[in-house]
Structure 1
Amino acid sequence: MSETWVYGLIAVGLLVCAGLVVFILRQRATIKAAQEEQAAKLHALEAKAQEQRDYLIESIHVIANAMIHDERMTLTEGTIRISVLLDNLSPQLKQEPDFSVINEVFERTRHIPYLKKWKELDKQERWRYTQEMKQIEAEHKDALLKAAGLLASYPFEKHFH
């Protein structure tokens, strides 16, 4: 084999190596950009999840305080609202002894229509459901007020931050 061929093959090999280095560097930059984009999306999702948790926590605190201090918030309405919020924030909390009454009252009142369906009821049906709610509230008033008091100042932040 002549020297020219050897130098030619070396030159071709060097060009191939240089091309591969350029390709590798471009791929590395593409992967790095994709990783940075993925990290930014993850950070945005985490921030949104934290914002949602903060909203749920604040809502629970406000409703619990209203159950205790605001006559316009019935214990049944507060219980239903808190139950739904806890389902989204920390469902296992409803199983703890101090808060199990929330789940119990919710289950006993879940068949009662609300919002638009409540407004569609005739007066007799509303009265019947109102009496049922008053009876359930009377049975569980002390436990509901205790649970609301605990939830009004519950340190959710320690569990989720």
Structure 2
Amino acid sequence: MTPLVVTLLVVATLLVGALAGYALYLWRRVWRNERLLAEAQTKRHAALAEDLRILASCLLDEQLPLIEGAIRIKVLLDNYDSALGQDPRCEVFQKLFEATEQVPTHAAWKALDSKERRRHEANFSALELQHKAAARRSARWLLDEALPNPGRAA
């Protein structure tokens, strides 16, 4: 072999080695990012589960209004696990959400005249009477069976 061929082989080998090293570096970054993403999703999922546990407990203890609790639980369930949100045992949260989704919130609620507010409040009372037992059963089911219990050993 001539010195030129040997030099070209050495350069080619070094170039392939450098490219392989760079590819390995990039793959390690991808794997690290995937691991970090999975950890973040796990933490988010655990935080949503804990928020759902708190809301279900508050709903059972009557620490928040039934309608508000049902709406909040429904929204969190959709973010936590859409299949769980579609479970027939959680159907009451969806029903209450749909029955109240046209009601104005925040500043729009404050801007309503008192007659309109009373009309919505009467609707809330009727919905609460109709769905309170089912909502309480659903909240109890979430706490006892559907959501992970941080106090239990895994």
The reply to whether TM is greater than 0.5 is: yes
Structure 1 residue 132, shift from structure 2 partner: 0.3
Question: Counterpart of 2:52?
Answer: 60
Secondary structure, aligned partner of 1:112: coil
Question: Counterpart of 1:135?
Answer: 126
Secondary structure, aligned partner of 1:99: helix
Question: Counterpart of 1:39?
Answer: 31
Question: Counterpart of 1:80?
Answer: 71
Question: Counterpart of 1:25?
Answer: 17
Structure 1 residue 107, shift from structure 2 partner: 0.9
Distance 2:38 2:21 in 1: 25
Amino acid paired to 1:18: V
Structure 1 residue 155, shift from structure 2 partner: 4.3
Larger radius of gyration: 1
Distance 1:11 1:156 in 2: 71
Distance 2:47 2:24 in 1: 34
Distance 1:78 1:61 in 2: 12
Structure 1 residue 94, shift from structure 2 partner: 2.5
Structure 1 residue 98, shift from structure 2 partner: 1.2
The verdict on how the C-alpha distance between 1:155 and 1:104 changes in structure 2, with shifts beyond 3 A counting, is: closer
Distance 2:113 2:22 in 1: 65
Question: Counterpart of 1:12?
Answer: 4
Question: Counterpart of 1:94?
Answer: 85
Structure 1 residue 106, shift from structure 2 partner: 1.1
Distance 1:46 1:24 in 2: 33
Question: What percent of counterpart residues are identical?
Answer: 24
CA RMSD of aligned residues (A): 1.8
Amino acid paired to 2:100: T
Distance 2:139 2:147 in 1: 14
Please state if 1:151 is matched with 2:142.
yes
Number of equivalences: 150
Q: Tell me which of 107, 111, 121 is aligned to 2:102.
A: 111
Tell me which moved more, 86-95 or 32-41: 86-95
Alpha-carbon displacement from aligned partner over 1:68-110 (angstroms, at most 9, x marks no partner): 1034x11110010011101111112222221111111111111
Distance 1:117 1:26 in 2: 63
Secondary structure, aligned partner of 2:47: helix
